[in-house]
């Protein structure tokens, strides 16, 4: 009974957090529209570059149509998985806003999760709707609607979002000890341009770069879900390797979050935060 009561309480708390997050987003509709446009600008620029390069013929198997589908996928997956929490946490700790959050009966991470769901759900749906409409008038970006593949893609996107979330949250919590935790996030962002498939499909990068990427989390938060949606992942070995990588990195970043959060709270209290 006690466990059921805790679940019911957490459910009610999440319902309230989600309602509050949606209401806040409604107040910042213009800002959200700007962020959405800014978020798809990068894949549009990358697509335009590769579209020009592919004018002379396919590039390592990617035709102009292939690049169009790939970067539509990049725009969708990136919007559904992006993480901004490190900047919020860094500010909360430096400006003292973390104090009143620590007094609440629910951990601050739940507020962040609700904010992510409230923002990513509608904005990712907008990009998906644009993709569907574009496919009607532009057959190049059309991909077959295969429920099984889309279901697997949704699972991969969910795992990718969780990896990026815990990665960003754990990195932001380093502000308990440092003055610029966000600098590490910005460094990761720069690396991810190449190793996650943001500016080009990984297969177009030098083999040594691809080899390094396989041992990091970057391909699993963007390239793998995109390749599922666009049909580049076809064998069960590719699916197994991709999902295994996602689960391993999710476990790593979840454990790192728990470690940093536990020790960070003690340090914060010890210095009078």
Instruction: Evaluate if residue 162 carries a pLDDT over 80.
Output: yes
Q: Which helix (H) or strand (E) holds 214?
A: none
Q: What is the reported pTM?
A: 0.91
Q: CA-CA distance, 8 to 26, in Å (whole number)?
A: 27
Give yes or no for a contact between 45 and 199, defined as CB atoms under 8 angstroms apart. Answer: no
Residue showing tokens 């380093």: 174
Give yes or no for a contact between 46 and 71, defined as CB atoms under 8 angstroms apart. Answer: yes
Token pair of 153, please? 């893609």
Give the dihedral sign, CA 30/118/73/256.
Answer: positive
What percent of the chain has a predicted confidence (pLDDT) above 70?
Answer: 96
- What does the pLDDT average to over 2-7? 67
Residue 62: strand, helix, or coil? strand
- What does the pLDDT average to over 224-247? 95
Nearest CA to 222 out of 144, 170, 159 is that of 159
- 3-class secondary structure per residue, 39-58: HHHHHHHHHHHHHHHHHHCC
Among 49-63, 87-101, 112-126, 238-252, the least confident range: 87-101
- What does the pLDDT average to over 157-170? 96
Q: CA-CA distance, 273 to 258, in Å (whole number)?
A: 19
List Cβ neighbours of 167 (8 Å cut-off, separation of 6 or more). 83, 188, 217, 253
Work out the number of other CB atoms within 10 angstroms of the CB of residue 200: 22
pLDDT, tens only, 192-226: 989 999 999 999 999 999 999 999 999 999 999 99
List Cβ neighbours of 101 (8 Å cut-off, separation of 6 or more). 92, 108, 111
Instruction: Evaluate if residue 242 carries a pLDDT over 60.
Output: yes
Q: Rounded to the nearest 10 degrees, how much is the dihedral formed by the CA atoms of 131, 136, 140, 145? A: 70
Q: What is the pLDDT of residue 2?
A: 62
- What does the pLDDT average to over 79-88? 91
- What does the pLDDT average to over 48-55? 93
């Amino acid at each position: 009974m006690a466990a059921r009561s805790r679940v019911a309480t957490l459910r009610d708390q999440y319902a309230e957090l989600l309602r509050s997050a949606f209401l806040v987003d409604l107040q910042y509709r213009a800002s959200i529209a700007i962020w959405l446009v800014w978020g798809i600008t990068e894949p549009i620029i990358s697509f335009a570059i590769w579209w020009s390069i592919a004018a002379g013929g396919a590039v390592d198997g990617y035709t102009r149509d292939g690049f169009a589908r790939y970067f539509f996928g990049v725009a969708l997956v990136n919007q559904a998985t992006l993480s901004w929490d490190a900047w919020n946490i860094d500010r909360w700790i430096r400006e003292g806003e973390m104090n009143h959050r620590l007094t609440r009966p629910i951990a601050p991470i739940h507020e962040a999760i609700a904010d992510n769901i409230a923002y990513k759900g509608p904005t990712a749906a907008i990009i998906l709707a644009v993709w569907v409409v574009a496919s009607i008038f532009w057959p190049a970006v059309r991909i077959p609607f295969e429920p099984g593949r889309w279901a697997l893609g949704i699972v991969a996107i969910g795992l990718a979002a969780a990896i990026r979330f815990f990665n960003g949250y754990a990195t932001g919590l380093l502000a308990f000890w440092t003055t610029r935790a966000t600098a590490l996030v910005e460094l990761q962002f720069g690396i991810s341009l190449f190793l996650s498939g943001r500016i080009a499909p990984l297969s177009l990068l030098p083999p040594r770069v691809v080899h390094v990427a396989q041992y990091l989390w970057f391909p699993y938060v963007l390239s793998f879900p995109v390749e599922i949606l666009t049909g580049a992942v076809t064998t069960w070995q590719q699916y197994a390797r991709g999902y295994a990588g996602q689960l391993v990195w999710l476990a790593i970043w979840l454990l790192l979050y728990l470690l940093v959060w536990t020790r960070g709270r003690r340090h914060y209290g010890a210095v009078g935060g």
